Structure 1
Amino acid sequence: MEMHGAQPLSPWHMVRSGLQNRQLILQLTKREISSRYRGSVMGVAWSFINPLLLLTIYTFVFSSVFKARWAAGAVDPSESKVDFALILFAGLIIHGFCAECINTAPKLILSNVNYVKKVVFPIEVLTITSTLNALFHFGVSLSVLLATQLFFNHSIPMTALYFPLVILPLVLMMTGISWLLAALGTYIRDIGQITGMAVTALLFLSPVFYPISALPEEYQGWLYINPLTAIIENGRATLLFGHTPDWHSMAISFGIGVAVCIIGYAFFQKTRAGFADVL
């Protein structure tokens, strides 16, 4: 692989690179997950403890302190504290997956200088590894949500089987954004500061703490400009409410996810030739 030569930009090369380097991606992902908890007494068990603690805290704060309830019509008006917490937590873990991908991406190349300067290495897989690492922790949080749903409500809707289709566009989108931010972060070190603010803004501009119906009608349409809105809404519908996803919004989300992934990869490949010069 010639680091300073022209790099293929096509979507086919993107897919082929992922398939050819799948064993490397798997090993790097395992290493990232294990290194995150290396030296701690509880080890990987923290990946289960953290979301469980968050679920407990949010249940107490929003249900007992703020006396918050979801909007009428979204769930039964007599919803329990656990019902509200699960609705809230479903939005939080989806946003959390995005936040981890976005916050990690600008430092991906900067923290792996040896891969860029000293060895022949397919550095495009670093982004895929980062996304899979975030997806692993997302999956752990999702298992906590489903286990809590099963324990307190004694059932999980069959529509939860649709959830992988709901989350797929987001995985594609975050991979593309990670490629884009990884490249930009190598040249512009301030990107890491900007992404922190962007993630916070995304939290409050997405229906995480509130349903869309809680907004005035003239603002509800604007919220759908945020691609995370449809994914959060469809995620809750399939996981908690027993509804099938809105296939129209799903198709739009998938199209956006594919487009962002292709554009992000092309930008990364186009700019990677100069990485070694600025590191």
Structure 2
Amino acid sequence: MSLIQNRFRWRLLYLYDLLRELVNRDIKLLYKRSVLGIAWTLINPLLQLAVFAFVFQLVLPVNVPHYSSFVFTGLLVWNWFQSSIFQATGVIINSRPLIRQPGFPTPILPVVTVTTGLIHFILALPVLIIFILIDGIQLTPLILFLPILQALQFALTVTISYLLAALNVTFRDTQHTIGVLIQLFFYLTPIFYDITAVPESYRSLYLINPMANIVTAYRDILINGTQPNWLALLLLAVSISVILPVGYFYFKRQSARFVEEI
């Protein structure tokens, strides 16, 4: 029993070290020869924020209090999800040298992509907090629940990543298709408008989108200072706990053919 425990412990340490090294590699490659470096994590959402603030505060005014903080929160949450999904879809195709190494733990690759996105999100979070404070919003102790939302979003993104990464090896159009679908879901997620703007008769259908619940939960904690809808988050967590193993085992089954197909 002790031998099994030691092997399991060493395996976990190996996977942790590998995850850390691969994430460091991804970040270095992403900003190699970049003057602004990791600042690009903020530049994109800030530019989007400027556009949305102009359109929905001056051109087509919407009645949403603290609109800048409102939109910036949604953009940071969505950008983590969007970039991770898009990059994870092509991670197997783009990692041929690693895939071809005997014994390499292929399932770690989608996790690396999502972890890199999480690091970018965490680095951008202090800037979001500054935005919120400048906007006159008082933070509450509910902010301590943020790690729960991050863990939930992480698990959701990894679940989808496993399915898409495996599918893209066989059907190379997957990455192009997912780019279009993500763009559509951007408009079906309350990023630049409030969920209360969705007609009541369609809201239940609308909330099938898991990111709608997650984005709303972040805003409840950070901007509204209220408890998020824990029942909706619990149902989402239960769904993820069922679908994640399915996605993982589908990925594992397909991984036997990765070397041949890439």
Normalising by structure 1, we get a TM-score of: 0.84
Following superposition, the deviation at residue 143 of structure 1 comes to 2.4
Question: In the alignment, does 2:253 pair up with 1:259?
Answer: no
Correspondence for 2:228: 245
State the alpha-carbon separation in 1 of the partners of residues 164 and 223 from structure 2: 33
In 2 relative to 1, CA 16–87 (structure 1 residues): closer, same or farther, beyond 3 Å?
A: farther
Which deviations, in whole Å up to 9, do the C-alpha atoms of 1:184-203 show, x marking residues without a partner?
A: 11111000111011101111
State the alpha-carbon separation in 2 of the partners of residues 45 and 245 from structure 1: 30
Which deviations, in whole Å up to 9, do the C-alpha atoms of 1:175-232 show, x marking residues without a partner?
A: 0111111111111100011101110111111222222221222111111111112111
Correspondence for 1:42: 36
**RMSD between aligned alpha carbons?**
2.1
State how 1:141-152 maps to structure 2 within 5 Å.
Answer: 141-152=124-135
In 2 relative to 1, CA 150–142 (structure 1 residues): closer, same or farther, beyond 3 Å?
A: same
Given that residues 137 and 223 in structure 2 are in contact (C-alpha distance below 8 angstroms), is that contact kept between their aligned partners in structure 1?
no
In 2 relative to 1, CA 257–24 (structure 1 residues): closer, same or farther, beyond 3 Å?
A: same
- Aligned pairs, how many? 254
State how 1:161-176 maps to structure 2 within 5 Å.
Answer: 161-176=144-159
Worse-superposed segment, 164-173 or 52-61: 52-61
Following superposition, the deviation at residue 52 of structure 1 comes to 3.6
Correspondence for 2:3: none
Question: In the alignment, does 2:60 pair up with 1:66?
Answer: yes
State the alpha-carbon separation in 2 of the partners of residues 35 and 139 from structure 1: 19
Larger RCO of the pair (alpha carbons < 8 Å, separation 6+): 1
In 2 relative to 1, CA 209–161 (structure 1 residues): closer, same or farther, beyond 3 Å?
A: same
Query: Secondary structure, in 3 states, of the residue corresponding to 2:34?
Result: coil
What letter is aligned with 2:38?
V
User: Gaps spanning 5+ residues in structure 1: where?
Assistant: 1-14, 71-78
Following superposition, the deviation at residue 62 of structure 1 comes to 2.4
Normalising by structure 2, we get a TM-score of: 0.89
Given that residues 34 and 44 in structure 1 are in contact (C-alpha distance below 8 angstroms), is that contact kept between their aligned partners in structure 2?
no
Given that residues 170 and 257 in structure 1 are in contact (C-alpha distance below 8 angstroms), is that contact kept between their aligned partners in structure 2?
no
Match of 2:251 among 257, 268, 276: 268
State the alpha-carbon separation in 2 of the partners of residues 107 and 16 from structure 1: 30
Question: In the alignment, does 2:104 pair up with 1:121?
Answer: yes
Correspondence for 2:16: 22
What letter is aligned with 2:94?
S
User: Gaps spanning 5+ residues in structure 2: where?
Assistant: 1-8
What letter is aligned with 2:204?
G
State the alpha-carbon separation in 1 of the partners of residues 254 and 13 from structure 2: 22
State the alpha-carbon separation in 2 of the partners of residues 180 and 154 from structure 1: 39
Following superposition, the deviation at residue 20 of structure 1 comes to 4.1
Match of 1:157 among 140, 144, 153: 140
Worse-superposed segment, 94-103 or 150-159: 150-159
Correspondence for 2:27: 33
Given that residues 172 and 260 in structure 1 are in contact (C-alpha distance below 8 angstroms), is that contact kept between their aligned partners in structure 2?
no
Query: Secondary structure, in 3 states, of the residue corresponding to 2:257?
Result: helix
What letter is aligned with 1:255?
V
Given that residues 167 and 231 in structure 1 are in contact (C-alpha distance below 8 angstroms), is that contact kept between their aligned partners in structure 2?
no
Correspondence for 1:107: 90
What letter is aligned with 1:155?
Q
Following superposition, the deviation at residue 17 of structure 1 comes to 6.4
State the alpha-carbon separation in 1 of the partners of residues 170 and 11 from structure 2: 24
What letter is aligned with 1:46?
W
State the alpha-carbon separation in 1 of the partners of residues 208 and 11 from structure 2: 32
More helix by share: 2
Question: In the alignment, does 2:217 pair up with 1:234?
Answer: yes
State the alpha-carbon separation in 2 of the partners of residues 211 and 62 from structure 1: 12
In 2 relative to 1, CA 225–50 (structure 1 residues): closer, same or farther, beyond 3 Å?
A: closer
Identical-pair percentage: 28
State the alpha-carbon separation in 1 of the partners of residues 205 and 227 from structure 2: 23
Match of 2:189 among 169, 190, 206: 206
